[in-house]
Structure 1
Amino acid sequence: MSFATNRLGELPDATAPDGSEVRVLCSTSRGSLAHFTLPPHAVSRAMAHRSVEEVWYFVSGRGQMWRRWHDREEVVDVEPGVAISIPVGARFQFRSVSPEPLTAVGTTMPPWPGDGEAFAVDGIWEPTV
């Protein structure tokens, strides 16, 4: 293991299965950190993860996050300063409700394993990305 130092790139490294732009920041053997961007007034695809859990911290824009896990379901308003968790297997979908992109920094534990990790589920909003 060595040190990693990265800067937020201007162009995305990938498109997440939910349709948001992903800029990879750093990764270790136990977790990874990425920056997610959803365009203004866009709605992500609803997803769930097979083996990873995530913690997101919103840094710009305003929006809403829907999550359902077992018998709990909620929609929360998100904006800079709000953090949310996404447990393994939780269904989630998010949308931007502002004229600026909705952006978050998210930690994935363990690191993102690749294709096949996320799978589509029914959400509460019609996706636009």
Structure 2
Amino acid sequence: MSFETKRLGTSPDATAPDGSEVRILCSASRGSLAHFTLPPHAVSRAMAHHTVDEVWYFVSGCGQMWRRSHDLEEIVDVEPGVAITIPVGTHFQFRSVSPEPLTAVGTTMPPWPGEGEAFAVDGIWEPTV
């Protein structure tokens, strides 16, 4: 067993398959934590995951999140204080509708396995990133 401590970086560690900036935070055996940033008025690419569930908590900006899984589909408004789930296989896309970046902290369970986990799907908005 070990402990991990990390401060949010000023520069992104990677670009997510959806086009958002990713700052990797901590990871444990059953989950990982990352910070996602979408620029003002930007629209992500629509994606789904092969094997992971995610839970996101929005910390700044305002936007919308679209999710579809089988017969269930919705668009929800997101802003600081809102948390959402993205179950494995769910199609999702998000957009910023404010003059500031839309940011969220998300946990991935199990930890993000790497390239090939996310795959592109048809979304409802035209991506800009």
Which bracket does the TM-score occupy, shorter chain normalised? Answer: over 0.9
Q: 1:91-116 deviations in whole A, cap 9, x for unaligned?
A: 00000000000000000000000000
Q: Which residue of 2 aligns with 1:47?
A: 47
Query: C-alpha displacement at 1:70, in angstroms?
Result: 1.0
Give the root-mean-square deviation of aligned CA atoms: 0.4
Q: Which residue of 2 aligns with 1:76?
A: 76
Paired residue type of 1:12: P
Determine the C-alpha separation between the residues in 2 that align with 1:10 and 1:122. 32
TM-score normalised to the size of structure 2? 0.99
Determine the C-alpha separation between the residues in 2 that align with 1:26 and 1:13. 13
Q: Which residue of 2 aligns with 1:63?
A: 63
Determine the C-alpha separation between the residues in 1 that align with 2:27 and 2:13. 14
Other structure's SS at 1:113 match: coil
Moved over 2 A (4+): none
How does 1:118-129 map onto structure 2 within 5 Å? 118-129=118-129
Q: Report sequence identity in percent.
A: 87
TM-score normalised to the size of structure 1? 0.99
Aligned length: 129
Paired residue type of 1:113: P
